[in-house]
Structure formats: C-alpha cells, structure tokens
A and B are shown apart, each in its own frame.
Chain A
Amino acid sequence: MRDPKTRRDALKCLAAGGAGTLFTLSGGVLLPLDLADAATRRHHGTPLFVQISDSHIGFNKDANPDVAGTLAKSVALVNAMPRKPALILHTGDITHLTRPEEFDTAAQLLSGLKAGELHTTPGEHDVTDGGQAYFARFGKASDNRGYYSFDSSGVHFVALINVLNFKPGGLGALGDDQIAWLKDDLAGRSASQPVVVFAHMPLWTIYEPWGWGTADSEQAFALLRRFGSVTVLNGHIHQIVQKVEGNITFHTARSTAFPQPTAGNGPGPGPLKVDAGVLPSMLGITSIAYARHPATATLTDTTLA
C-alpha cells in the first residue's frame, strides 16, 4: 500500500495484522513499513530481542493437542531468523498446570533456541503452587522475588511479576515492595536509555471483566514516563493488542499454544478452538529491534504460518 500519510492510514495497516507485521515507532506514532524494505536495512550492530509467550506445556485439549510441537516450531522460527537475537524473553505461562514434567519439557524445548540468554517471568499457570516449582528453576535471577532487571546492548530490561498478588476483582497486581524496588532501580538512569518492561499479565487495563489488567500499574508508569523510549511486553491474553501512549508502547504477544477469544466474546478467557489449518496463523512470536538515533523500537509479530 502507499506510504500512510495520516495516523488513520497507519491504524488501518495496524488492523490488518497477519504474518510479519512490522511497525516502527517514530515520534510516538506507529508507522508500518514494507517488510522487504526493512529486511534490507543495515542494522549497524543494533540489538535484536525476541519475546515468546504462553507456551502452556501440558495443555492437551482440542484447541491444540500438540503444544510441545508448536513450541518447537516457534523455536525453529526464531532459529531461522536472519539475525540471531541477543536474548529471548518468555513472558509466562510456560507450563499449563505447574507440573515438574511440564517445566522439564519446556526447558528442553527452549534450550534449542540458538540465541543468547533466556529470561523469564511467570504466568498464573506457572505459580499455582505459590511459586515453588517456578522459582526452583527460574528464581535465581530475582532471588526468588520474581522481579529483576539487567542491561543488554544498551537497553535496560525490567522483569515484573504480577501473578502472585491478585486483587479482589481479579486484576493482577505488582505490590508495594516491587514498586519500591522499581523506583530504586530506575533512579538516576538517563532518560535516553531505552527501557523494556516485561510481565505476564497486561500492565494496562484491556478488559477488566476477564481480569486483563494490573491494578496498581499506574504507580509503575509514573516512574517510567520520563524515559524517552519504553516498550511494555506482556502475554496472557493469547492475542495481539497494542497501545501507544506518549513514549510508551504497550504490546501483548500471541501464544505459541492456542488463541483466546477477543475481549468479551465467550464465557471467559479460555482456549479458542479454530480450524487446524487456521491455527498456525494465530500462534507466533514477537521480535524487538532497535535503531539508535533516535532510539526507536521496532516490533515485529511473526506467525507460524
């Protein structure tokens, strides 16, 4: 299509979605780019990261009888990318029922990723035992608290956990300790350093009746708003929903296991069965690429087919 001249045109492209959708954030507006054009751009060694989410190892119902297979296909998709990612983020619901064998299978499949380190944050399916099994495997990064941060290629990554302290009414919550830690973690950082925040449940309210939101996230955003580039990566809802607010881009990822209905279109946020031929086009991963000057984050959602 022609270069979009207005935000309305850009939003139409955004609604089209599909495999290999590519957006660049520039001046607070998402502009779609032709994929072929983007592939030929030189990257000057700028960083690339990948987000995988909601693998639900252990799920075996109609919506996808082979979630291990589709996770393996997602790993293959990452490995086939022309540029090797510096790191992988898994935004939770690694397992379906918190079972040890599910964590083992997931770890085995994810170890096939030909990328840098794997960083994780748990989903509510991972912590039905209060967090014991998840922290035994992934707790070291955060001393079993669930929240931690690190820098990679000049980007500051913040892992938040919002599935341990549910508020009455069902939204996720961060809790005062985590918010106090975040304030300390961000204090004194240059506003020009790009920040990526990743957590399982959406950090903004997408659909309150299904618990798609985090009750106390505004306290976190009050601390994040001064930064020039903030990218918020979430999972949980098994579909892509995006929002841009000032310098903050919010993005939820597809699942590698099964889709869910759009907000309100079903009895609850459960698995959505689609035709077997359609399923691969509703599963996938997200990659995040950075340009340096100005610091722009480019999100690319890729499906299995």
Chain B
Amino acid sequence: MIPRLPMPALVATLVFATPAFAADASIVMKNFDFAPMTATVAAGTTVTWKNEDGEPHTVVSTDGLFRSAALDQNDTFKFTFAKPGTYRYVCSIHPKMVGTIVVK
C-alpha cells in the first residue's frame, strides 16, 4: 500500500495566495446603510457607490475631500483615492449613515 503524503506546504500556499485588496471597489446604499461600512483598498483605486434605496442618499467626505450630488435610486458616484489614509464619509441626508474607506 502506498502511504499518502501529507500536503501542508500546498495548504500554506493557498492561504497566502489570496489577494489582499480589490482593484476597484463597490459600495451599495441599502436600507439606510453603506455596505460594506468599511472597505480597504489600494492607493489609486476608484470606489463606486451605488444607491439601491428608493430614498436618495449622498456620499460626503467628513474632510471636505468629496461630495456627491443627491443620488436617486440606481444613481452612482465615483471617487479615486490617490493617497493612503483613512477617509470617513457620511450621507448628508441621513447622517446616521456613515462609512470608511481605508486606503493602503
């Protein structure tokens, strides 16, 4: 009988092969939430927000860096994050809705 060889090396390779960051990222506004609420992206990534609620929302940077128009259902807004940092934003119509983009 041929003994089976354990394959720990292959398993280890699979774990570390997972990409850490997306090339571009999508956020949806649904049920008065930004989803995902926190997203981590590489510098240079363009993030696209899409409103899937019947109620309009906005995407407004708390640092004054970006501000979308009022987004009706299915409207989108894009912003390209050139520099690393942590960028918080809020919906100015429903300011309980908050989100964060972490740029690495």
User: Chain A residues in contact with chain B, CB under 8 A?
Assistant: 61-62, 96-99, 124-125, 127-130, 166-171, 209-211, 267-271
Contacts and interface: CB of A to CB of B under 8 A. Distances in A.
A98 B94 contact: no
Contact of A270 (B55, B90, B92, B98): B55
Q: At the interface, is chain B mostly helix, strand, loop or mixed?
A: loop
B94 A211 contact: yes
Given A130-B67, A166-B92, A268 B72 contact: no
Interface footprint category on B: 10 to 19
Interface of B: 31-32, 53-56, 58, 67, 69-70, 72-73, 90, 92-96, 98
A98 B69 CA distance: 8
Given A97-B70, A98-B70, A129-B69, A124 B93 contact: yes
Nearest to A163: B92
Contacts of B31: 267-268
A134 B77 CA distance: 22
Interface of A is mostly: loop
Given A97-B72, A267-B31, A210 B96 contact: yes
Interface centre among B93, B94, B98, by most chain A C-beta atoms within 10 angstroms, is B93
A171 B96 CA distance: 8
9 contacts: A97-B69, A98-B70, A166-B90, A170-B94, A171-B95, A267-B32, A268-B55, A270-B53, A270-B55
